[in-house]
Amino acid sequence: MSLLVIPSIDIKAGKTVRVVQGIPELDSKEYGNDPVEMALILRAENAKFLHVVDFNCSNEHSHKNFDIVKSICQAVIIPVEFGGGISSLEEAKEVMDLGIHRLVVGSLAYLNRKEFEKIINEFGPQKISAAIDVIDDKVVIRGRSEMTDISPLEYAKQLEAIGVKRCIVTDVKRNGMLQGANIELSKEIAAGTNMNVTHSGGVEGYKDLKKLNEVVSLGIDSVIIGRALYENRFPCQKIWRKAEQGLFS
């Protein structure tokens, strides 16, 4: 089995953005205005899966980007997963009705375990991924703004015990920084549980993908990439992007 590369589309106020370390207030940088067009471009570049983050939903519990998310799901024929501060089963249902293939749940899994279990029971573990965001070997929640006292491995084991089959592991300090992937963190979670692990954060180019591909057998079967894709860090992208000029105008 080879590594699945999952491009990330981060949406804020209807626009595609990339943000340093996942914090919207810190040096936000826009990459184009149309998330649907970006989804089509990534699909044209042979993306097999998309990761969509709604910062307005995450930070304000606003649903103003939901029509855009629905349009992305309708525009591409590949699965789309959604992350954005899901706070209840009802909100999870609303998001899944947009056409989402898989739902990413973060803080709720830590703060309200019973409500999170309701979501798992409603949709099944194959449709849910738990986000494990980490700073200095501690899990962080609430938009990566609040530190907990639990280690990522201990937390991962708790999630596995209630039926979680997949988690997204992010070293927040590496996220969006193009400083190399913290593969050891993802390996620790994969080795200490039977969950499938999606690595996120720090990928700066092909060498990181090669390293991750070498540990697929451990259970790290996919990687989310954002800034490196947007900034053309992969040699083949220059060919793709030149071929795409005017394609979606």
Q: What is the pTM of this model?
A: 0.88
**Residues with active-site annotation:** 10, 133
Nearest CA among 7, 13, 77 for reference residue 47? 7
Q: Is the pLDDT of residue 198 over 60?
A: yes
Residue 178 confidence class, pLDDT cut points 50, 70, 90 = low
The full set of domains in the chain, from first to last, is: 4-244 (3.20.20.70)
- The Cα 189–Cα 155 span in angstroms is 9
Tens-place pLDDT, residues 206-217: 888 889 999 999
Q: Is the pLDDT of residue 125 over 60?
A: yes
Q: Angle between the 236-244 and 35-44 helix axes, to the nearest 10 degrees?
A: 120
Specify the higher pLDDT residue, 47 or 234.
47
Q: Is the pLDDT of residue 19 over 80?
A: no
How much is the average pLDDT of 137-164?
A: 94
3-state secondary structure at position 115: helix
On the CB side of 140, CA atoms within 13 Å amount to 17
How much is the average pLDDT of 196-202?
A: 93
Residue 243 confidence class, pLDDT cut points 50, 70, 90 = very low
pLDDT at 23: 44
Cβ neighbors of 71 (< 8 A, separation 6 or more) are 36
Tens-place pLDDT, residues 68-96: 999 999 999 999 999 998 999 999 999 99
Task: Provide the β-strand partners of residue 4.
Answer: 222
Residue 18 confidence class, pLDDT cut points 50, 70, 90 = low
Mean residue pLDDT of the chain comes to 87
Q: What percent of the chain has pLDDT over 70?
A: 85
Residue 166 confidence class, pLDDT cut points 50, 70, 90 = very high
pLDDT at 126: 97
Q: Is the pLDDT of residue 25 over 60?
A: no
